Structure 1
Amino acid sequence: MEFKPLITLLAIVNPPAIIPFFIYYTQGLSAEQRRHTVQVSAVSAFLVIAGCALLGIRILEFFGISLASFQVGGGMLLLTSALNMLNAKPAEAKASSNDLEAGAEKAAMGDSVAVVPLTIPLLTGPATMSTVVIYAERARNALDMAVLLGYGVVIAVVTAVCFTLAEPIARVLGRTGINVLTRLMGLILAALAVEVMAEGLGNLFPILGRVAGSG
């Protein structure tokens, strides 16, 4: 399997863009509590990716949804996330402001912020889940699926590193640097979203593929 799934996932998850949220939700915690939050966030992100990779297609089959339709819908969701990122907003932040408030309330009641809202919806929101399901369907054999799961491990490691170094990274990049990085990843994600949507539309309407080929 190519590296495109990894690039796409890194663009969507974009852990550096979540650093300000990590700092906000973990302020006042001890060093040990922060380390625990980092570990839980990283493991949870991997579990979400692994779950979508292994069970996503079966869920689609259960609801009678074709992959082509899911590609178009997922591509639109990716494009929406990309547009948010081009405005220097985290991929899921605009659509999930209520979820963030709910996550803060749950944290106040003692629930771990590592899962809500840091992992879901900030790190692995709907756009991430859609992407994993699409690439899981393209896996031709067990090796391809293992590679996709390995990419999930990479995402978890990158998340752990970014959160562990959250304060130094925030100081070095500053708000401007984080915004520039977010916009760059958003541009890459927009191009990938168009590609996913084009493939889905081509499968739904084969005539589009023939017209494009004749052109």
Structure 2
Amino acid sequence: MAPMTDLIDDFLRQFTVFWATIDPISTLGLFLAITPAKSAREKRSIAMRATLYSAIILLGFVMVGQIILTYMEIRLQSFQIAGGILLFLFGVQMVFGDAAPPPDQKPEAGHDVAVFPLAIPSIASPGAIMAAVLMTENSSHTTAMQCFTLGVMGVVLLITLVLMLMANKVFRLLGNAGSAVVVRVMGILLSAMAVETVIHGLGGLGLIPIK
């Protein structure tokens, strides 16, 4: 078993990635924007369904991601480089813009807001999907490590659910300025981790030495 310090380091690293890509703070703002006329019971139902749908979507990509890569004959290193670039762009967007869907983005008539825009593309965002696949690929992660990663992802999803259930209180505590600061700090951390992913991908292809 890995030393406790290694487990803590892995947890913090993966937690930061999932926090930055799932972005519970931006999801909180979106949730508040699209549910002002809903009753407390309806809000709870929407929050729980959105979290459940997001978990199913992310787990689905984790399960079939490796199959798709193998079928399309895409090397893991190539996927790492592409994923790292996309995560970097996502992080830059968080720093300089708004990585979440705009609050005035309305779902189509008859659609469940728990599915769109909450589950997709806010919680199960392209960045979160990419991160989940990268951190659970089979060639360098054991089953135990993959379960650990899914557990970390589950923790972030649970926090996202709790924030939505406490939406009004949390937003009053952070305010617009506090929310913006948290999102941008997460964007910087995600960008740095994305660069590391690209470096490891290039190293795996033998293009650069890795110490």
Report TM bin, short chain: 0.7 to 0.9
- 1:34-61 CA deviation, whole Å, 9 max, x = no partner? 1001101111221122112222111111
**In the alignment, structure 1 residue 27 sits paired with structure 2 residue 28:** no
Partner in structure 2 of residue 122 of structure 1: 122
Which residue identity does 1:200 align to in structure 2? G
Partners of 1:173 and 1:6 lie apart in 2 by: 21
Partners of 1:21 and 1:149 lie apart in 2 by: 25
3-state SS of 1:60 partner = helix
Contact 1:78–1:127, Cα closer than 8 Å, also in 2: yes
Which residue identity does 2:130 align to in structure 1? S
Which residue identity does 1:145 align to in structure 2? Q
**Identical amino acids, percent of aligned pairs:** 28
Partner in structure 2 of residue 7 of structure 1: 16
- 1:91-124 CA deviation, whole Å, 9 max, x = no partner? x54xxx6xx84xx242xx2221111111111112
Would you say how many aligned residue pairs link Structure 1 and Structure 2? 200
- 1:162-193 CA deviation, whole Å, 9 max, x = no partner? 11111111111111000000111111111101
Contact 2:107–2:117, Cα closer than 8 Å, also in 1: no
Instruction: Tell me how large the CA RMSD over aligned residues is.
Output: 1.8
User: How far has the Cα of 1:15 moved from its partner?
Assistant: 0.4
With the length of structure 1 as denominator, give the TM-score of the two structures. 0.86
Partner in structure 1 of residue 178 of structure 2: 177
Which residue identity does 1:24 align to in structure 2? A
Partners of 1:207 and 1:111 lie apart in 2 by: 47
Contact 1:17–1:182, Cα closer than 8 Å, also in 2: yes
Structure 2 unaligned blocks of 5 or more: 1-6
In proportion to residue count, which structure has more helix? 1
Contact 1:85–1:182, Cα closer than 8 Å, also in 2: yes
Partners of 2:63 and 2:52 lie apart in 1 by: 16
Partners of 1:79 and 1:140 lie apart in 2 by: 22
1:138-177 equivalences under 5 Å are 140-177=141-178
**In the alignment, structure 1 residue 83 sits paired with structure 2 residue 92:** yes
Partner in structure 1 of residue 3 of structure 2: none
